[in-house]
A and B are shown apart, each in its own frame.
Chain A
Amino acid sequence: MSNSLVFCSFDAGRDGLPAGAEEVLTLARKLATARGVDLDWLVIGAQPSGVEAAAAKHGVAHIDHIDDPKLAELEPDVVVAAVQQYCGQQSPALLLISQTFDSRLVAPRIAARVGAGVVMNAIDVASGDGEVKVTATAYGGDTRVEYDVAGPVVIGVVSDPLLPEAAASPSAPEARSIAVDLAGVDERIRTVQKASSDGPRLEEAQIVVAGGRGLQDAENYQLVEDLAAALGGMAGASRPIVDDGWTDSSHQVGLTGKITRPVLYVAAGISGASQHMVGCAAAKTLVAINTDGDAAIFKYAQYGIVGDCLEVLPALTKAVKGG
């Protein structure tokens, strides 16, 4: 049995790297060094262009690549089967996966197949006494929980609070092609209609202006969109106003929406519940506009305006345009 620590990716990302790759590799590198084991990178499906450079930068020993025509769409049943077979061959002690919409389902399924413990929402991983200590968020980020896991473990890492950092010494990763047999695996879920939006992504926006219930009325969401447009950013929203249909769910920020990490996040009429803040706490600068000076949002904000967002948003839009 090997003790290797494996970062497993099965998406192509936009900038040539899988989502969160560098952040999760940074965490994985730290742990591999502490345990004195190899850090390997398992790439499922077509290999994104930036993998080799990123692997070297983070001291990866092997780039293990599994490709197969069946993996073209990276559907869950084939991905799970591929990783399961890899684990059968390599017996990694730890599998780190960047948490995304898809991996949130795939990670626990892999864990079930290989009899590993599974922890999602992880933000840190450390070595304990023959065990792994995983720190994860709970209650939408209100609390942090430390879990001890004995034996193999699959960990879903939330990459947003992490900062990428190169390994002390880069490596010359060895590429290995891993053979698996997916002949008997057929996807059980049939896609009838694909999700359509292919536009700019809130997760990648540099500026986000988000509105909440404090906007009071669906039509006032326009004020959020106006300021977002004036700043060249994108519009976000809290869950209740998405539930009420003031905007569609692709705009929802938070635990069960999108995790943003913009340079500037403006929160208008948002109270600052933990489940919302998970999605914007990584913003470099957070500006809050709220009539209630005691609102939780001001605990997270760098700048606060105690005032009516129905007045402050248009004033900001006007000032941005005029300036």
Chain B
Amino acid sequence: MRIIICVKEVLDPDAVDNYVLHGKLEIGDDGKTLTQTSIPRLMNAYDEQAIEAALRLRDNGLDCTIDVVCIGADPTAILRQAAAMGADEVSTVPVADGSLDGHAVAKILAAYVGAKGGADLVLCGRQASDDDQGVVPALLGELLDMPVVTIARSVELDGGSVRVTRVTPNGDEIVEATCPAIVTISNELGTPRYPTTMRTMKARKINPNQVTIDSLSLADSDVVPLVRMSKQYVSSVQGNCTFIDGDSPDAQAATLLSKLRDERII
């Protein structure tokens, strides 16, 4: 069976957070692009977990081809990482950074899945840590007419069905859907494996398959975004903290409580 995993390259969210904290995040002349080349480009962490989910299925004896695809400017490094982790095939559909919205990405992915003769299971990260939108899996599900199960902690295959433990606000829930299906993976799945040095060395020689938009028989109008980013700026935070001093934790606790009581907060 074929498992296709959709991955995205993102700017390291911790590095972005750190620059913001120190008031040093730079936005380019276009008023929207984060330009600092010192921010590492990584595979979106949830997508790494999606690859891990597929590898665990294989570890448990599933006979499958694990096919990882990334739409992006030049995701060679993260696709080599995917190969080192254990992906059998890695492909990229090159597009300029930031030129597409979720709809266009989903259309390309749907065409890719079609060109591969379909997939039994499509895995995606629950959302990307750059735009936090998380809409692509749902859009893809509509285009491929596959059920979409979101926010998985674990994924099992049972005959022609996928059984998913989902992390919901009210605790875990177990659901099933008939394959082909799309499942989005959350961090609760656990830490993705770290490829061995040998595998990493070997993966360095791998060049991802280059799949062009033309070869997927998509019309230009298919990849025109409906949603266009016009501006990006750093959110402001007040920074108005009153620090509570005191000789001991007990003294600090007493001072804090009296302030909270004066303000009728407690």
Q: Is A108 in contact with chain B by the CB < 8 A criterion?
A: yes
Among candidates B13, B227, B241, B254, residue contacting A140 with C-beta atoms closer than 8 Å: B13
Q: Chain B 169-213 against A: per-residue CB contact (8 Å), 1 yes, 0 no?
A: 111111111100000001110100000000000000000000000
- Least distance between A34 CB and chain B CB atoms (Å): 18
Partner pick for A150 among B130, B173, B226, B257, CB 8 A cutoff? B226
| Interface presence of B17 (CB below 8 A) | yes
Task: List, in ascending order, chain B residues with CB within 8 A of A207's CB.
Answer: 266
Within the complex, the shortest CB–CB distance from B190 to chain A, in Å, comes to 8
**Contact (Cβ within 8 A) B174 A192:** yes
Query: CA–CA, A299 to B190, complex, Å?
Result: 31
CB-contacts of B231-266 with A (<8 A): 231-235, 237-244, 248-250, 252-254, 256-257, 259-261, 263, 265-266
Contact A312 B138 (CB under 8 A): no
A-B contacts counted at CB < 8 A amount to 244
Q: Are B14 and A305 in contact, with the CB atoms below 8 A? A: no
Indicate whether A298 reaches chain B with its CB closer than 8 angstroms.
yes
Is A172 an interface residue, CB under 8 A from the partner? no
The majority secondary structure among interface residues of chain B is: mixed
Chain A residues with CB under 8 Å of B143's CB are 112
A249 to B188, CA, bound (A): 8
- Asked if A182 is at the interface (CB within 8 A of a chain B CB), the reply is no
| Contact between B257 and A319, CB atoms less than 8 A apart | yes
Cβ of A296: which chain B residues have Cβ within 8 Å of it?
17, 21
* Cβ–Cβ contact B173 & A318, under 8 A: no
Tell me if B265 and A264 are in contact (CB < 8 A).
yes
Q: How large is the interface on B (under 10, 10 to 19, 20 to 34, 35 or more residues)?
A: 35 or more
Contact of B132 among A138, A293, A305, A311 (CB under 8 A): A138
Q: Is the CB of A189 within 8 A of B149?
A: yes
Q: Are A300 and B139 touching (Cβ within 8 A)?
A: no
Residues of B within 8 A of A263 (CB): 265
Asked if B14 and A273 sit within 8 Å, CB to CB, the answer is: yes
CA distance A321 to B17 in the complex (A): 38
Binds B, one of A1-9, A115-123, A173-181: A115-123
Q: What 3 A-B pairs have minimum CB-CB distances, sorted nearest first?
A: A117-B226, A112-B142, A108-B138
8 pairs, CB–CB < 8 Å, chain A vs chain B: A121-B132, A139-B130, A142-B13, A145-B32, A190-B176, A192-B176, A274-B20, A299-B237
Q: Give B residues with C-beta under 8 Å from A.
A: 13-14, 16-17, 20-21, 25, 32, 34, 101-103, 106, 126-127, 129-135, 138-139, 141-143, 147-151, 163, 167-178, 186-188, 190, 226-235, 237-244, 248-250, 252-254, 256-257, 259-261, 263, 265-266
